[in-house]
Amino acid sequence: MKIISKILPIVLLAFLINACNQDFLDTKPANSLSQTAVWSDPNLVELFVNEMYRGIGHGHHECEVGSMTDESHFIHNYGTNQVVASLITPSDIGQWSADNQNAYRWPNVYGYLRNANMFFENIDKVPFKDEEWRNRLKGEVHFLIAFYYHNLVRTHGGVPIITKTYGLTDKFEVPRNSLKECVDYIIKNCDEASALLPVKQEGAALGRANKAAAMSIKSRILLWAASDLTHVAWYSSYPNPEYVTIPGDRAAAWTAARDAAKAVIDLNAFSLEQTTGDPFTDYTALFIKKSSPEHIFSRYFIKSNGWDSEDSNTHSPLFNGPNGYAAWAGNTPIQALVDDYEMKDGTKFSWSNPTQAKAPYVNRDPRFYATILYDKAPWRKRPATLVANDPIGLISIRTVYAGLDRNSAKTPGLDTREGPQQTWNGGYTGYYLRKAIDITVDPEFVYDGANQEVPWTFFRLGEIYLNYAEACIELNQDTEAKLYINKLRTRAGMPAITETGDALRQRYRNERRIEMAFEQSRYFDVRRWLIGSTTQNKQTKGIVIDEFSDGRVEYATREVGQVRGWNERTNFLPILQDEMNRNKLLVQNPGY
């Protein structure tokens, strides 16, 4: 990671500063620094802030947020089954309690918020000779506070707003703030960050917070706060609706969301990835390139010398690649997502259409080919053990039969659980993830430094266009909405949409599903639109492909064995029982 990853993490520094001033801790360790030393040296303060950037996480983890919604199936479970079946409880929130999701975990996020509070309690004492340096760090920490809380609030609703540090001897009983107070606090920090930071960062500062990124948090949280989730009484007899809903004028909320998105657009500092005439290449490059005019704020990575922590590096080619490439499969796209990609002419795909059912991967939205690996999709060269089976490098899902029926001898696909290599790492759905994976990285040698350097982009102009369009739709400004939706569709090589009213709303929602696939958007969109009962209640399906000796190929969808279900309470996560036990003033979310 540029800047942040070039500096060794100051974990011991953060630990020491968090420690209380007890006598037995007064002995000065040889490998750490005292509070006095840190707050006396601007360079150490900079390192302290660098460490805080770890709290934003990234999305290239082994288990992705998409596998907790209707994007993908994580084949190794890791607690995702509890989440998609709506079986989480205050004592077991499944994958949400895993290190993969540290950026959303209550205890972890509040640890970083404590460091942020400590920063503001001490920053004005630091002997900076350059006030611009001090102000820049202040702006970055305001941004980080907004980012931390926007993750907590979208997963938990109203949470305690903590603005001071607590010691071990301090009594910690703090009630939840209302959801409106939390959103207002996020916006306040976004505005304060915006006033102190440059519009964008370049060169050596790339990867640090900027004004546009702070404004993008504001756009995202205001869109979320205007949505049905926070304005419709989806809960039953919950006595504290202020923790999960926001009272007030919906039109005013949508107007605020629209204006926040337009403010980012009007900076004129970013543009869509330049088109080359090949939509597949353009969309692919957007998520692989280290620098794009569309990227507003990203986390960057560098090559390691071997296996490295997921926190500071990314191994997506290994985590998500097919087993026939000596990879672990991981987050495998499900049929529901595949079917939602339109045909190239903008019409819906349908298994009821005989022509489409016979060739389901022909003439689809170019973003399909850039996002999902399907049977016969071109990929990289095979490992030496399988290159004789596939000298070209094509994804192999189908079972090939020697005769005219399934009673004849068969040869399973190389990338299936019946294939010749690492069957336990084969996917169940018949698809693998392609988006944001560098095809030049060989997953077979990840332990020798074969991690990829693909950045994780938290905010990009494409999302802001969608945010703006959605708010416009809800304000009955359809023409303006279509203008920005169609900018993205044109970039993707898709025809313009022409609908109005609710038909436009539904078309937009599918467009957002496709454009933002695997960018940690869908999980929250499903909840803020209150559509979980229709989208998350379906069984996990994949594809079965059989080829016979006469050249006939048959496609059939099938359930892959993951039970899914929906309970409205999972619009928000429960507050962990451990946190409820520590803080008696906390009130649990509805339904738990």
The DSSP annotation for 121-156 comes to HHGGGS--S-HHHHHHHHHHHHHHHHHHHHHHHHHH
Q: Which of 261, 286, 209 is nearest to 55 (CA)?
A: 209
- The verdict on domain 11-61+81-282 having CATH code 1.25.40.390 is yes
Helix (H) or strand (E) holding 460: strand 456-460
442: nearest Cα among 304, 326, 332: 326
Q: Determine the Cα–Cα distance for residues 270 and 265; give it in Å rounded to an integer.
A: 8
Burial of 162 (0-12, 13-18, 19+ CB in 10 A): middle
Q: What is the DSSP letter of 297?
A: E
Query: How high is the mean pLDDT of the chain?
Result: 93
User: Contact at 8 Å (CB) between 258 and 475?
Assistant: yes
The torsion angles phi and psi of 263, rounded to 5 degrees, stand at -65, -35
| pLDDT score of 4 | 37
Helices and strands per DSSP (H, E), number in the chain: 20, 10
Torsion angle defined by CA atoms of residues 223, 229, 230 and 232, in that order, rounded to the nearest 10 degrees: 130
CA 258 to chain centre: 22
Structure tokens that stand for 410 in this block: 């068969």
Contact 72, 37 (CB under 8 A): no
**Per-residue pLDDT, 449:** 63
Integer-rounded Cα Rg, in Å, for the chain is 25
- Supply 345's token pair: 């002419």
For residue 569, give Cα distances in angstroms to 85, 187, 572: 12, 26, 6
Query: Amino acid identity of 352?
Result: S
User: pTM for the whole thing?
Assistant: 0.94
* Cα-Cα end-to-end distance for the chain: 40
**Interatomic CA distance for residues 370 and 515, integer angstroms:** 11
What local confidence, expressed as pLDDT, does residue 313 receive? 72
Token digits of residue 476: 């009955």
**Is the CB of residue 585 less than 8 Å from the CB of residue 445?**
no
Residue indicated by tokens 């750490």: 32
* Structure tokens belonging to residue 29: 């360790």
Per residue in 194-217, pLDDT (tens digit) is 999 999 999 999 999 999 999 999
Yes or no: say if 449 and 299 are a contact pair by the CB < 8 Å rule. Answer: no
pLDDT at 171: 82
Q: What is the pLDDT of residues 424-483, one digit of tens each?
A: 999 999 999 999 999 999 988 776 666 889 999 999 999 999 999 999 999 999 999 999
| CATH 1.25.40.390 location in the chain | 11-61+81-282
Residues with Cβ within 8 Å of residue 494, at least 6 apart in sequence? 279, 342, 344, 346, 365, 366
> In a 10 Å sphere around its CB, with 0-12 CB exposed, 13-18 middle and 19+ buried, how is residue 314 labelled?
buried
Q: What angle do CA 269, 274, 278 make, to 5 degrees?
A: 160
Residue 131 in contact with residue 124, Cβ under 8 Å? no
pLDDT by residue, tens only, the chain of 592 residues: 333 333 333 444 444 444 444 443 344 554 566 788 999 999 999 999 999 999 999 999 999 999 999 999 999 999 999 999 999 999 999 999 999 999 999 999 999 999 999 999 999 999 999 999 999 999 999 999 999 999 999 999 999 999 999 988 888 899 999 999 999 999 999 999 999 999 999 999 999 999 999 999 999 999 999 999 999 999 989 999 999 999 999 999 999 999 999 999 999 999 998 889 999 999 999 999 999 999 999 999 887 766 666 766 788 999 999 999 999 999 999 999 999 999 999 999 999 999 999 999 999 999 999 999 999 999 999 999 999 999 999 999 999 999 999 999 999 999 999 999 999 999 999 999 999 999 999 988 776 666 889 999 999 999 999 999 999 999 999 999 999 999 999 999 999 999 999 999 999 999 999 999 999 999 999 999 999 999 999 899 999 999 999 999 999 999 999 999 999 999 999 999 999 999 999 999 999 9
Query: For the chain, how are helix, strand and coil distributed in percent, rounded to 5?
Result: 45, 10, 50
3-state secondary structure of 250: helix
Quickly list DSSP for 70-114.
Answer: TTEEETT-TTHHHHHTT--BTTB-GGGGSGGGTTT-HHHHHHHHH
pLDDT computed for residue 32 by the predictor? 61
Q: Any bridge partners for residue 456, and if so which?
A: 299
